[in-house]
A and B are shown apart, each in its own frame.
Chain A
C-alpha cells in the first residue's frame, strides 16, 4: 500500500477509534453542553409537525431545538442530551431524521461482500459505526 493509502487507512482507523471512544465515554450531556445539529431542507413547521420516530423516541432524554436556518437554508434541528444517551446514537438519529424529512427514507447500503478478507473485516468495523460518527 502506498503512502496515500496508509494515510487514508490511518484516517479510517482513527474514525473507528473515535467512534468507539465516544461510545465508551460517559453520556455527552455530562461531557459537553454542545448541541448536535443538522440543517433540514424543510420549513420549521414541517419539521415540528412530522418529527421522525428515529429522533422522536429520544425526546425524554434530549433537549430539542427547532429554528429557521440562515439564508433560507431550511431548518436547524438540534439536540442536546440531558439523560443517559450517547452522542453516537444521537448523531445516527439526527441523520436518519434529516433523511426521512428530506428524502422520505434512509438509504440502506448494499449487502457486504462475501469474502472481505482481513483488511475488509477491519474496514467493516469502521463502516459498521460510521453512521453515528463524524463531526456532526
Chain B
C-alpha cells in the first residue's frame, strides 16, 4: 500500500509499505478515508523528537472505515465508519478507568525511553515516534488499530467525514484544555495559538460558559478565521502588546484561564524572542516555552494555566516565582480523547461545534510532501492539510 513516510529531517515521501495485518486479537484494520497533518508532526519533521526511523509512517489524526476485525473486537464490524483517537488505549488500566486515557499503562511498547526522560511512560500514539510506541501512522491507505473497541469511536450518521476527522485529536485536545483548565461561566479565557487546537480550545471555552475569549497568534489569516467561525476576540502579538490588550480586556485583572496551544517551537517578538534565538543558536536551550511563560505572567492571580502544546524535555527560564506568588494552578496533558469524543461528535452533529473549516487544503496522499510544506511554512493561508485516501 501507499503511505507517507518520514525519511529524514524535513523529508517526507510517499512510499510502498507492507499492508498492515491483525497482530493482536483486539486489533482491527481500518481503511483510512481522511488523515490530517498536525502541528506536533512538525517536531518530528524538524528532528526535534529524534526517535524516528527512515520509513516510519507518520500521521495520527484520522477517520475511516473498518475492513477487518480481530476475534477480540466486539464494538466494531466491517463497514462501520469510525474516528480513531490519536492515543491508543487499553480501556481497562487505572488511568483509562479514571478517564486519563493518554496515560494508559498498556500501550507504549517502548516504555523505557519515556520512563527515563519523564519518570513514567504515557500511552502509545499512532505515527509519533518509537518513544511513543513505534506504531505506524495514519497517512496510509490502511492502518492497524490496537485495542480497537477503546481506541476507535463510531461516527453518528449526522456527522460527515470531514467534520468527524478533527474529533480524532484537535477537537478533544482543545476541549480538554478548557475543561481541565477549569473554565467557569463568566470567565475571561485567553488562548495562545490559533491553529486547529487553539481554535477548538477557544470554542470549547465559549461552550463551557466563558464570557469573553481572546485568541493570540501572529498570523492574521488564522485569527480572522477564528473570529469568523466563532466570534472570538483576537490579538496579533506581532502588532499589539499582549499584556496591555489582556489587561484592558479584563479590567486590569488578567484572564481567569490561560490555555497554551503552541508547543515547544514557539515564536515571539522583542527581547524574549532574541534571548530564545540566541540560546537556540548556542545550543543551550531545548524546548522554547515562550507561550507558557506569557500565559503564566499574564494570568490573573489565583487563575489557571493549561499547557496543551507538546513539550519534550527541559525548558529554560520557567517563571516559577510568578506561578507561586500569584497562586496559579498549572496543569497539562496529552489529550484524554476517549473521555470527550462521543460527546463532541454529538455537539458536531447538533451544529454547535463546527470543525470542517479547518481543512483549508484537501489533497490526495500523493501530494503529502506538499501538504506538509504548505502547513509548515503557513503558505496559502494553510491551517490544516488533509489527505483524502
Contact = CB atoms under 8 A, between A and B. Distances in A.
Interface of A: 1-9, 11-12, 14-15, 18-19, 39, 41, 73-74, 95, 98-99, 102-117, 119-120, 123-124, 126-127, 129-136
A102 B147 CA distance: 12
Interface in B83-137: 88, 90-94, 97, 105-107, 109-113, 115-117, 119-121, 124, 130-131, 133-136
A115 B113 CA distance: 22
Contact of B111 (A11, A103, A131): A131
Contacts of B25: 104-105
A135 B120 CA distance: 8
Given A9-B50, A116-B53, A134-B121, A2 B280 contact: yes
Contacts of B17: 113-114
Contacts of B51: 8, 12, 123
Interface string B265-295: 0000000000000001001111100000000
Given A4-B48, A123-B53, A135-B115, A102 B106 contact: yes
Contacts of B88: 107
Given A11-B113, A113-B54, A41 B49 contact: no
A113 B55 contact: yes
A126 B264 CA distance: 25
Given A99-B90, A117-B53, A131-B110, 7 more contacts: A4-B264, A7-B313, A113-B17, A113-B55, A117-B54, A120-B52, A120-B54
Interface in B123-176: 124, 130-131, 133-136, 144, 146-147
Nearest to B143: A110
A11 B55 contact: no
A113 B5 contact: yes
B159 to A, nearest CB: 28
Contacts, number: 178
Given A112-B53, A129-B112, A1 B47 contact: yes
25 contacts: A2-B280, A3-B280, A5-B48, A5-B50, A7-B286, A9-B50, A15-B112, A15-B113, A19-B112, A41-B97, A95-B111, A98-B106, A103-B92, A104-B92, A107-B88, A107-B146, A109-B110, A110-B134, A111-B18, A117-B53, A123-B53, A127-B134, A131-B112, A134-B111, A136-B111
Contact of B94 (A1, A39, A126): A39
B69 to A, nearest CB: 14
Contact of B286 (A4, A95, A98): A4
B109 A107 contact: yes
B50 A1 contact: yes
Contact of A104 (B9, B26, B46, B112): B26
Contact of B49 (A3, A8, A120): A8
6 A-B pairs with least C-beta separation: A113-B55, A120-B53, A133-B112, A134-B115, A103-B90, A134-B112
Interface of B: 5, 8-9, 17-18, 20, 23-26, 46-56, 72, 88, 90-94, 97, 105-107, 109-113, 115-117, 119-121, 124, 130-131, 133-136, 144, 146-147, 264, 280, 283-287, 312-314
Contacts of B49: 4-5, 8
Contact of A105 (B53, B72, B116, B284): B72
B20 A12 contact: no
B55 A110 contact: no
Contact of B124 (A7, A107, A112, A131): A107
Contacts of A132: 112
A102 B285 contact: no
Contacts of B56: 113
Nearest to A129: B112
A113 B115 contact: no
A127 B108 CA distance: 11
Contacts of B90: 99, 102-103, 107
B92 A2 contact: no
A11 B117 contact: yes
A29 to B, nearest CB: 21
Contacts of B144: 110
B105 A8 contact: no
A3 B134 contact: no
A113 B51 CA distance: 13
Given A5-B49, A126-B113, A116 B20 contact: no
A119 B109 contact: no
B50 to A, nearest CB: 4
Contact of A1 (B9, B18, B284): B9
Contacts of B72: 104-105
Contact of B287 (A4, A6, A109, A120): A4
B59 to A, nearest CB: 13
